C-alpha cells in the first residue's frame, strides 16, 4: 500500500513549513502510481490513516470503486471524463441496480476525485456535473413485539451455543447495537454491576447503553455457564464462535435467519431488524426521540426520525384493522 507523506521533501528548517502534495511526491516517474489499483490504494490509505473510517466503510468504498474500474476496462482513472461517468451510470440502470446503490457509488466517486483534485494530480473532477439520483427513503424493516418474543424464545438454552445466541439476541433487542458492535464486544466493555455496555460505534464515537433486566440475566448465564465451554484458547471476545474466536457479522446473520425459521416468522428480515425493532418499540411506548438517538449512536437526529415514520405506519395499520369506521 502507498502511505501518504503530507510533509515530504518541502521542509527546510530555515524556511516556513511547506506542505507537499501527491503531485510533488510523484514528480519522478519512478515514484508515480503505475495502475488504477495504485490510485485506489492511495485513496483508501488516506481514508484509513487520516480520516479513521471503519473497516466496513473502507470495504464499501473499495467495492464501489472496483466496479467502476471494471467498467473502464483499463482506462486510467486520472483521465476519466464526465461522459465516462454518465456511461457508467447508464450501465448501472441497464443492470437494474437500485437508486440507493447508485447514490452510494456516486458518493464514493465524488470523494475519490475530490481527493485527487486536492492533491493536484488532476485539475477538475469528472463528477462536477453529476447529480445524485433521488433515492426514496425506505422505512426500516422491523418486527412486531409478538414476533420479537417468538424470535428471542427460539434458541435452545440447554446448549452452550443456544445460550450464547439467546444472550446475543436479548442484548441486541435490549440495546439496539449494530451487529458489528455486538459481534465485536469485548469483556471490558460490559459492566454488569452498573448494567451498562460501553460501545465504540461508527467514527469511533463512544456511548453507554443500559442493558435491561432480561438481557442482563441471559448475559450473566452465558458468561457463567456457556462461554467457558466454547472457548478453546484465551480470548476477550464476549461472544466466541464455534471455533472459540470472534464471530463474524455473516455468521450471526445466519443464526438469526435460522431462529426466524424456527419461530415461523414470515416478515422480511435484515441484519439490523432487531436494532430497528428496538428503536420502533421504544418510540411506540413513548420514549423521547433524543434518548433513542443517543442509544442508537446516531450523530444526526434526522437519522433517528425515520423510526417515527415506522411507528406512525404501525399506528395507521392498527387503526385500519381495528377501528369500526376505518
Strand partners, 206: 200
- 149: number of CA atoms within 13 Å, CB side? 4
**In this structure, what C-alpha cell is assigned to residue 171?**
442484548
Q: Which residue has the cell 418486527?
A: 143
Angle of helix 301-322 relative to helix 273-284, nearest 10 degrees, comes to: 70
Dihedral in degrees, nearest 10, Cα atoms 65, 68, 70, 73: -130
In this structure, the number of other CB atoms found within 10 A of the CB of residue 97 comes to: 14
Q: In what order do the strands lie in the sheet with 206-210?
A: 190-191, 196-200, 206-210
**Are 182 and 169 contacting, i.e. CB atoms less than 8 angstroms apart?**
no
**Cell 464514493 sits at which residue?**
108
d(CA 150, CA 144): 10
Please tell me the distance from the alpha carbon of residue 65 to that of residue 46, in angstroms, as a whole number. 15
For the annotated catalytic residues, the residue numbers are 178, 202, 272, 275, 298, 307
| Euclidean distance between CA atoms 198 and 184, whole angstroms | 12
Of the chain, the end-to-end C-alpha distance in Å amounts to 63
8 A C-beta contact, residue 179 and residue 167 = no
> What distance in Å separates the CA atoms of residue 127 and residue 108, rounded to the nearest whole number?
10
CB 119 within 8 A of CB 32: no
Place of cell 487520516: 50
Q: How far apart are CA 253 and CA 271, in angstroms?
A: 6
Amino acid at each position: 500500500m502507498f502511505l501518504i507523506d503530507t510533509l515530504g521533501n518541502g521542509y527546510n528548517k530555515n524556511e516556513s513549513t511547506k506542505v507537499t502534495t501527491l503531485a510533488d511526491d510523484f514528480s519522478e516517474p519512478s515514484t508515480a502510481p503505475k495502475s488504477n489499483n495504485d490510485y485506489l490504494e492511495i485513496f483508501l490509505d488516506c481514508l484509513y490513516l487520516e480520516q479513521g473510517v471503519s473497516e466496513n466503510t473502507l470495504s464499501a468504498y473499495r467495492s464501489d470503486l472496483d466496479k467502476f474500474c471494471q467498467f473502464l476496462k483499463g482506462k486510467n482513472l486520472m483521465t476519466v471524463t464526465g461522459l465516462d461517468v454518465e456511461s457508467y451510470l447508464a450501465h448501472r440502470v441497464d443492470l437494474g441496480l437500485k437508486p440507493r446503490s447508485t447514490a452510494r457509488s456516486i458518493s464514493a466517486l465524488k470523494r475519490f476525485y475530490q481527493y485527487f483534485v486536492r492533491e493536484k494530480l488532476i485539475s477538475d473532477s469528472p463528477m462536477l456535473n453529476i447529480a445524485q439520483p433521488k433515492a426514496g427513503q425506505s422505512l426500516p424493516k422491523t418486527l412486531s413485539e409478538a414476533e420479537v418474543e417468538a424470535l428471542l424464545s427460539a434458541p435452545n438454552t440447554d446448549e452452550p451455543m443456544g445460550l450464547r445466541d439467546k444472550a446475543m439476541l436479548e442484548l441486541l433487542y435490549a440495546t439496539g447495537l449494530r451487529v458489528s458492535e455486538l459481534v465485536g464486544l469485548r469483556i471490558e466493555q460490559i459492566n454488569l454491576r452498573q448494567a451498562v455496555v460501553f460501545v465504540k460505534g461508527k467514527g469511533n464515537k463512544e456511548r453507554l447503553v443500559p442493558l435491561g433486566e432480561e438481557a442482563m440475566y441471559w448475559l450473566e448465564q452465558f458468561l457463567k455457564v456457556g462461554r467457558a465451554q466454547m472457548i478453546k484458547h484465551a480470548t476477550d471476545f464476549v461472544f466466541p464462535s464455534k471455533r472459540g474466536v470472534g464471530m463474524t457479522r455473516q455468521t450471526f446473520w445466519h443464526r438469526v435467519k435460522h431462529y426466524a425459521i424456527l419461530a415461523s416468522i414470515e416478515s422480511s428480515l435484515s441484519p439490523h431488524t432487531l436494532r430497528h425493532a428496538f428503536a420502533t418499540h421504544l418510540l411506540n411506548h413513548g420514549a423521547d426521540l433524543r434518548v433513542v438517538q443517543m442509544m442508537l449512536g446516531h450523530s444526526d437526529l434526522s437519522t433517528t426520525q425515520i423510526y417515527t415514520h415506522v411507528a406512525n405506519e404501525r399506528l395507521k395499520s392498527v387503526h385500519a384493522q381495528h377501528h369500526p369506521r376505518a
